[in-house]
Amino acid sequence: MADTHSERRLAWLAWVTICLVWGTTYLAIRVALETIPVFLVAGLRWMTAGVLLTVVTLGRGRPLPPARQWGALALLGFLMNVLGNGFVVWAEQYVASGLTAVIIASVPFWSVGFEALLPGGDRLRGGTLLALAVGFAGIVVLVWPEMSAGGQAGAAMFGGVVAIQIACAGWALGTSYARRHPSATDPVAASAIQMLASGTMLLTVATITGEWSALHFTTRSLGALVYLTLAGSVVAYTAYLYTVAHLPLTTVSLYAYINPLIAVLLGSALLDEPLSPRIAVASLLVLGGMALLRRVQS
């Protein structure tokens, strides 16, 4: 009983870590972009995290996944890290970190859409469509004033919102693929290969686009990149794996409600990002749509 109680306490601590760390990564991305080009922010983060997890895996005496699984892991890396994270980094050039986090909360809406299209997936029902409509309304309220203003700023905002939706679609597709193709491989070892693959892809794009010549660090941007790598990728991901193993998935997934709130408050407090009644209402609509979706699916 003592061991079980101790594991549960540790699982709750890991869950709190996920909420706090992943809620702050949007701010860290914004700070890293001050001097580090887009694809280098994402590429250096995932490549370094992959190397560290490889060292951890081998240090624990665990083998890396067999070569025959690397193709599937590379695909997951492309969907979840290149699309799912790379486009978020790109979007944060033009979209405030807090707003980005709120829009990212629409990932479950993409997930149910893909599931409805895939063989054997759940069909869309009336309650599901209502939840999607509420969440979509929140996103429209959130970004419409800036996008409708026109000009260069409006076009940049529109491009950022589209990029975030591509990121959501990539993450949702990766999640669906992982669910349909489970692996018996140690998840930490599998994640190491996934991160190395995605890091290689992103650094290749950075090289092709000439980003290395524009790379320079300040204390702020380097600190943000180190934070993204160690806290955002290595620590928080390991914590996520632990919570999934020791807490109900419905409990674990509640972090998705907390991350946007943390990101909005931090962006407003530290980066002077706007925080208005409209943003508050829009955020509540997005999170309310997600809550309704969870209720319909339960």
Domain boundaries, the chain: 2-297
- CA gap 62, 245 in Å, rounded: 19
Question: What is the predicted pLDDT for the residue at 219?
Answer: 97
Q: Looking at residue 149, what is its pLDDT?
A: 66
pLDDT band at 257; cut points 50, 70, 90: confident
> Does residue 3 have a pLDDT over 90?
no
Instruction: Give the range among 46-50, 207-211, 282-286 with minimum mean pLDDT.
Output: 282-286
> Cα separation of 260 and 103, whole Å?
9
Q: What's the pLDDT score for residue 49?
A: 96
Instruction: State the pTM of this model.
Output: 0.87
Q: Which pLDDT band holds residue 142 (cuts at 50, 70, 90)?
A: confident
Instruction: Please provide the DSSP assignment of 123-138 as one string.
Output: PP-HHHHHHHHHHHHH
The confidence score (pLDDT) of residue 2 equals: 45
**Does pLDDT of 156 surpass 70?**
yes
The whole-chain average pLDDT of the chain stands at 86
The residue-averaged pLDDT of 5-32 equals 91
Which of 94-98, 257-261, 293-297 ranks highest by mean pLDDT? 94-98
Give, in degrees to the nearest 5, the angle at Cα 194 between 191 and 197: 150
Q: Does residue 127 surpass a pLDDT of 80?
A: no
The one-character DSSP state at 229 is I
For residue 28 the two structure tokens come to: 């860290």
Distance between CA 108 and CA 168 in Å, rounded? 9
| 54-52-100 Cα angle (round to 5) | 115
Confidence at residue 120, expressed as pLDDT on a 0 to 100 scale: 66
Q: For residue 253, what pLDDT is reported? A: 72
- Place 1 in a pLDDT band, splitting at 50, 70 and 90: very low
Most confident listed range (164-178, 238-252, 270-284): 164-178
Instruction: Say if CB 223 and CB 30 are below 8 A apart.
Output: no
Q: Quote the tokens at residue 80.
A: 């979840």
Closest by CA position to 143, among listed 287, 281, 279: 279
The distance in angstroms from the start CA to the end CA of the chain is 30
| Positive or negative: CA dihedral 259, 261, 267, 269 | negative
Please report the pLDDT score of residue 218 as a whole number.
97
How many residues in total does the chain contain? 298
- Using CA atoms, how far apart are residues 194 and 196, in angstroms rounded to an integer? 6
Q: Which residue has the higher pLDDT, 75 or 282?
A: 75
Quick one: pLDDT at residue 94? 92
pLDDT at position 252: 76
Per-residue pLDDT band for 255 (boundaries 50, 70, 90) equals confident
pLDDT category at 79 given cuts 50, 70, 90 is very high
Q: Which residue has the higher pLDDT, 37 or 249?
A: 37
- Write the Ramachandran bin of 217: left for phi over 0, alpha for psi from -120 to 50, otherwise beta: beta
